[in-house]
Structure 1
């Protein structure tokens, strides 16, 4: 049972002056009534902490006694603790808070070579047509695969596959194309096209229409795009073309000649492509990676050749943005009727 402490009644403080003459006599009488201390208690001073602790235990109440700075045990334990580390602004990339694993360091975010690895969220599905997950942005990359036709199939080509990827390398479109003219050489060892693949191919006019819709008012990236656009029987504004085969810095690597895409990827990205059968999806990704590597240079070259163009950009979910050029419409002046 815990005992309760009663509060003594408050006394009013006596403000009258003390009679010093009676102080010594009263003190002597008080000393006579008090018991004499033993010799042990005189030699050993009382420990105020122990006295306080014992009285508190008798009353059934335990109070927290703070540790003073002069306590040797506390001093030793505090000195053994390491000083707090200063955090840098980029330390949150390595912290253990929820969701930290999803944060990508800036160096990896801007690594163009990473584009050549397909995204698990946007998988490559051959002959899918329009992607169900990926969305186009301001920039799209195009690549085509051809087959041989006629008596000279090594020289005459026909469209067999079309692929497009967005700025992030996600497959936007992939389709096999039905031949308009009989094929005399599938070029399987290079193109990867087989008679079996073309059994589910789409008509040329359907593919042409779907590709045209994706390229409309967007900047087209590719390698030797003249050949791809010719096979599609399409045209695209020159100011909106970024051709990696014509970029001056890339041509310097080929001694002024047209550089091969495979060699550019090997020299600049340190990756191997086109080691066997070609993939138009992979080649489109490679051209987008090369473009992103020199994006500022490509855009500066376009401004130098064609001047600046005002582009209204709508940022999409992928972050690349959708761009469309706006032309000012001239207001027609109304002619006043003669009266």
Structure 2
């Protein structure tokens, strides 16, 4: 697929998104951005009901989907700029003698609005043994003209540098890309404490998307664009409490030094 290009399907605000915002508690948290993608303080209410604390998330029933994932996760703006927060999702293929070792085969980055700012297939450094098509959606034809690993690695490194990186189980994506990112700039929906189950275990992105957004994703082959958008929407919906928690953690870390 092309490099850092605008999403062609996001030239106007999708009416389904307007309906979704009315149904979801809080909707998308930032309805206004400046040219640098800085998000203002955002309300998060449904009618006259106050926002539930993040700690009560597990007790909150899942929203029943009424629209398709493509409709519910469609960008709310035509703004394709590199915002201060970017969400990343990657698809892996199997390499190594048994195909059990994961290698990056596609990388997607979306901005705060959900618009794709980077989408590339990647040619792994090792021979692909298992395309894992049923999950990854990757087929041999996708990698024939894919960019080489080092090029994509450099591209992604430059794009996420100094930005908040949003995603699910980002340590897997960063490991496959042989990249690191400042811990205080990571917002991982698999790691955020209020999203964990009663046993303190991580929950799947599809479960979080169903409960928080009312979106059914990953029903068969995964779509990294939808997954990245879902992670970004979840972050935006809980951004206010999430950022407060991050500030407390940073203050606590400084006191320990």
Same fold (TM over 0.5): yes
Task: Find the partner of 1:183 among 99, 105, 128.
Answer: 128
Task: Find the partner of 2:153 among 208, 212, 233.
Answer: 208
SS in structure 1 of the partner of residue 196 of structure 2: helix
The aligned length equals: 193
Q: Partner of 1:284 in structure 2?
A: 228
Task: Determine the C-alpha separation between the residues in 1 that align with 2:113 and 2:232.
Answer: 8
- TM-superposed CA distance for 1:248, in Å, is 1.1
- TM-superposed CA distance for 1:255, in Å, is 3.5
Q: Which structure 1 segments of 5+ residues have no match?
A: 1-100, 122-132, 309-339
- TM-superposed CA distance for 1:230, in Å, is 0.3
Q: Partner of 1:57 in structure 2?
A: none
Task: Find the partner of 1:140 among 86, 103, 107.
Answer: 86
Equivalent residues of 1:147, 1:185 under 8 A apart: yes
Distance 1:270 1:115, change over 3 A: closer
Task: Determine the C-alpha separation between the residues in 2 that align with 1:191 and 1:165.
Answer: 18
Q: Partner of 2:42 in structure 1?
A: none
Task: Find the partner of 1:305 among 249, 253, 257.
Answer: 249
Task: Determine the C-alpha separation between the residues in 1 that align with 2:230 and 2:179.
Answer: 22
Equivalent residues of 2:76, 2:113 under 8 A apart: no
Q: Partner of 2:55 in structure 1?
A: none
Q: TM-score, normalization: structure 1?
A: 0.53
Q: What is the RMSD computed on CA atoms of the aligned residues? A: 2.4
Task: Determine the C-alpha separation between the residues in 1 that align with 2:211 and 2:142.
Answer: 33
Distance 1:244 1:106, change over 3 A: closer
- TM-superposed CA distance for 1:111, in Å, is 2.1
Q: Partner of 1:29 in structure 2?
A: none
Distance 1:255 1:208, change over 3 A: same
Q: Partner of 1:162 in structure 2?
A: 107
Moved over 6 A (4+): none
Q: Partner of 1:67 in structure 2?
A: none
Q: Work out which structure has the larger RCO, using CA pairs closer than 8 Å and 6 or more positions apart in sequence.
A: 2
Distance 1:301 1:204, change over 3 A: same
Q: Which structure 2 segments of 5+ residues have no match?
A: 1-14, 29-68, 253-257
Matches within 5 A, 1:1-339: 107-108=21-22, 111-112=27-28, 116-118=73-75, 121=78, 134-153=80-99, 155-252=100-197, 255-307=199-251
SS in structure 2 of the partner of residue 271 of structure 1: coil
